[in-house]
Amino acid sequence: MDTHKVGSDTTVIADSLEIPGIGHIPVNAYVVTAREPVVVDTGLSVSDRDFVAAVREVIDPADVRWIWLTHPDRDHTGGIFDLLVAAPEARVVTTFIGAGIMTTERPLPMDRVYFLNPGQSLDAGDRMLRAFRPPLFDNPATVGFYDDRTRICFSSDCFGGPMPTAELAESGHANDLKPEELRGAQLLWATLDSPWVHVVDPAKYRATIQPLRAMNPEIVLCTHLPPAVRMTSQMIDTITTAPDSDPFVGPDQAALEEMLKSFEPGGTPAAAT
């Protein structure tokens, strides 16, 4: 994990996972040191991560007032219950659906939950965080937000893209890739993570992008992409073409068996095809 600042008062808690044949998927959480500090998502649900310790590098967890859960997938909720203990004054910002999904494994304490829908705003003391539904998403509870003080957009999974190395995934910037490389990575992610984009009305899908274009954030912070500074127009143009991209088709059983052979004694890891 790597911790670094972007903008004046926002910190990235960066992690990643390697997916054979795909690349290194960034898995970011964020800390916004507003007057009422906000933690955005809580990292991977794997046993060797200590998310609270990572937060402690940025802020005393006891000072956290909000935990904005962009959606309740396991790569966003890893440290949420430990953080609720370490941050006794914090409430989880989510939706009715988000809280409901959490109950299928371990329910959130309902007295610590704050329901917020797209179109509504959260007052963090010195700024308004304006909730919206990102154009691309893989969970019906997804809610991102725009920080009107810093002009940073927190887009959840939208705009994600696998990186060629773990170093770039955790400590780089989106513009470290050539424009064509970034475009390819983002379209791969769009079709992998939001396969519905190929079956919806393209015009209706593209209409959902217009509010984000009008928002025109200076910085876009995505769960699955390094920070993107002054790249919004370029990235919006990319996801606009997602319905026209080739659908993602993952490895089948034959490909899995070939990959497993490569991990036998003497073998080397093979890429998925």
Per-position DSSP letters for 11-47, written without gaps between them: EEEEEEEEETTTEEEEEEEEEE--SS-EEE------T
Q: Is the pLDDT score of 263 beyond 80?
A: no
pLDDT, averaged across the chain: 95
Closest among 145, 155, 158, 174 to 34, alpha carbons compared? 145
* Predicted confidence (pLDDT) per residue in 53-96, tens digit: 999 999 999 999 999 999 999 999 999 999 999 999 999 999 99
d(CA 168, CA 213): 27
- What is d(CA 101, CA 111) in angstroms, rounded to the nearest whole number? 17
- 8 Å CB contact between 157 and 224: yes
Tell me if residue 179 falls in helix, strand or coil. Answer: helix
What is the radius of gyration, based on Cα positions, of the chain? 18
User: Rounded to whole angstroms, how far apart are CA atoms 221 and 215?
Assistant: 14
**pTM for this predicted structure:** 0.93
Across-strand partners of 23?
Answer: 19
Q: What confidence score (pLDDT) does residue 221 get? A: 98
**CATH architecture of the domain formed by 2-262:** 4-Layer Sandwich (3.60)
Task: Tell me the torsion sign for CA atoms 87, 91, 93, 94.
Answer: positive
